[in-house]
Amino acid sequence: MREGIPVLRGALPLFGHLPSLHRRLRDVVRDGERENGPVFWLNLGFGRWVICAAHADAWQLMKSKGVSSEHAREKPVIDFLGARSLIALDGAEHARVRGALNPTFSPRGLTGLDLGPAFAEIIRTRLSTWAQRGTISLLAETRELVLSLMFRMAGVEGAELSEWRRHYERLAWLAVNMPDIPGSPRWFAKRSRDWLDARVRELIAEARANPSTGLISALVAARDEHGAALDEQQLVENTRLLILAGHETSASTMAWATALLAVHQDAWKRLCDEALAAPDLPRTPGELKAFPFAEAMFREALRLYPPVSFDMRRVVTELEIAGVSLPLGADVLIPLATQSRDAGVYPDPDRFAPDRWLDKRTAPTAVELVQFGAGPHFCLGYHVAWLEIVQFLVALARVLGAAGLRPSLHGRFPEPRFIPLTHPPSSLRIRVA
């Protein structure tokens, strides 16, 4: 026990529960709850202890005024995202920066940037190369595709997609608590962060010199209600965050959805029937409604494999969860990967069942959107993600389906890797034939 709360057994020296969380996060949380009840300590490695709140209502903590994002302004997260990025801010300062960005990310703001038609074209062009290539390295492919969408959104042309992808892949290791030993993943991650920041500064300078309709120009021009602009550090950290948050997450969901379609032929056929019956790809958030099965596939892939496997908050006032008082100052881990498979919300929660969404044509509830977080930090890019992933699925079915092709898997269905973000293994290949 620590401070009256049970400690999960099985921690390794130095690495704690990190290796088992990386491979089996869902099982670790479910077993931990069975053995210890809904609240227990976990060791995230190298002495970083956090409280895992496995209870079905834990996600509500993200909406509570009794928590903060202070943990993100300390190591290891500060190295990863920076102390001035949205995710690390609280209260009035968070509201100020968020208020400056919100209009650009609303459905109206996105329509104003004319993103939908541009996304549709980029996605279609990239997917039409799949047929000739035959074998696709799935995660690298979806990451580069979504990076190109993010660059289109940012108003950047001709970026070196594979270089950016590689540096972002390394950067993510800064989220993990481990020592800065030369040659370690963390050491390489810092070099990649320097590489990314140098490029991001160039993009900001370019946007200042030649304002465009892109996101970086929008960030540079953004003013809060007092007329104040973001300072240089906020611009750099938030641009780096936006490109990261915007591509790793959506790319992972696209990869999972494709892998699911590769093994569920009935779902592939239904997607093709729907997509090929339509005159074209959807181009605005409003047009997505005409593709109920593609939307259902997106929501089911996201539910089964939420890219952000857990979120975190620090306890700053007296709080309890499931009748257990949380110690002041403790960091609480909210496992979105199990929250999004809660049997109380989803019957037979581990089963792939896109139909569960088809009868629900009303707006999603907060618990159904838990993969995007909750409360003041709720994902800024939610509308972008929904649009680009459904566009991707419709385009996949239209491009491959029209040519009589379909994706299939090399080998068994992949097991997720949960840390830093949930994704299929980088070695995953699909065959297009």
For residue 375, give the H/E element and its range.
none
Q: How far is the CB of 195 from ligand HEM (least distance, A)?
A: 21
Return the number of the residue (143 or 406) whose C-beta is nearest ligand HEM.
143
| Given 274, 300, 311, 331, the residue binding ligand HEM (CB under 6 A) | 311
DSSP-derived secondary structure letter, 403: T
| Given 82, 373, 407, 414, the residue binding ligand HEM (CB under 6 A) | 373
Map the footprint of ligand HEM across residues 17-46, applying CB under 6 A.
none
DSSP-derived secondary structure letter, 343: T
| Given 192, 239, 250, 339, the residue binding ligand HEM (CB under 6 A) | 250
**320 DSSP β-pair partners:** 325
Return the number of the residue (36 or 239) whose C-beta is nearest ligand HEM.
239
| Given 155, 307, 416, 420, the residue binding ligand HEM (CB under 6 A) | 307
What gap in Å lies between CA 150 and CA 113, rounded to an integer? 12
Residue-wise DSSP of 47-87: T-EEEEE-STTGGGGGG-TTEESGGGGSTTHHHHH-TTSGG
Q: Which positions ≥6 away from 392 have C-beta within 8 Å?
A: 123, 127, 142, 145, 254, 257
Does 378 bind ligand HEM (CB under 6 A)? Our answer is: yes
- Residue with the shortest CB distance to ligand HEM: 381
The count of residues in the chain is 433
Q: How far is the CB of 376 from ligand HEM (least distance, A)?
A: 6
Does 374 bind ligand HEM (CB under 6 A)? Our answer is: yes
- Quote the Cα angle for 174-180-181, to 5°: 130
Q: How far is the CB of 285 from ligand HEM (least distance, A)?
A: 13
Using CB under 6 A as the binding criterion, the count of chain residues that bind ligand HEM stands at: 28
What gap in Å lies between CA 165 and CA 119, rounded to an integer? 18
Using the contact rule CB under 6 A, the part of the chain among 228-236, 249-257, 287-295, 341-349 near ligand HEM is: 249-257
Does 385 bind ligand HEM (CB under 6 A)? Our answer is: yes
Return the number of the residue (306 or 401) whose C-beta is nearest ligand HEM.
306
Residue 180's nearest CA partner among 171, 168, 172, 189 is: 189
| Given 29, 100, 145, 242, the residue binding ligand HEM (CB under 6 A) | 242
From residue 278, alpha-carbon distances to 273, 287, 290, 397 in Å are 9, 11, 8, 11
Calculate Rg over the CA atoms of the chain: 21
| Given 127, 189, 230, 245, the residue binding ligand HEM (CB under 6 A) | 245
- Quote the Cα angle for 48-52-55, to 5°: 175
Does 249 bind ligand HEM (CB under 6 A)? Our answer is: yes
Does 371 bind ligand HEM (CB under 6 A)? Our answer is: yes
Does 308 bind ligand HEM (CB under 6 A)? Our answer is: yes
Q: How far is the CB of 13 from ligand HEM (least distance, A)?
A: 31
| Given 335, 354, 381, 401, the residue binding ligand HEM (CB under 6 A) | 381
Residue 390's nearest CA partner among 261, 310, 289 is: 289
What gap in Å lies between CA 2 and CA 23, rounded to an integer? 25
From residue 141, alpha-carbon distances to 4, 129, 207, 322 in Å are 47, 11, 28, 42
| Given 375, 405, 408, 409, the residue binding ligand HEM (CB under 6 A) | 375
Using the contact rule CB under 6 A, the part of the chain among 224-232, 238-246, 322-330, 348-356 near ligand HEM is: 238-246
Q: How far is the CB of 7 from ligand HEM (least distance, A)?
A: 25
What gap in Å lies between CA 126 and CA 224, rounded to an integer? 38
Map the footprint of ligand HEM across residues 77-136, applying CB under 6 A.
86-87, 98
Q: How far is the CB of 123 from ligand HEM (least distance, A)?
A: 14
Tell me which residues touch ligand HEM (CB under 6 A). 62, 86-87, 98, 241-242, 245-246, 249-250, 253, 302, 306-308, 311, 371-375, 377-381, 384-385
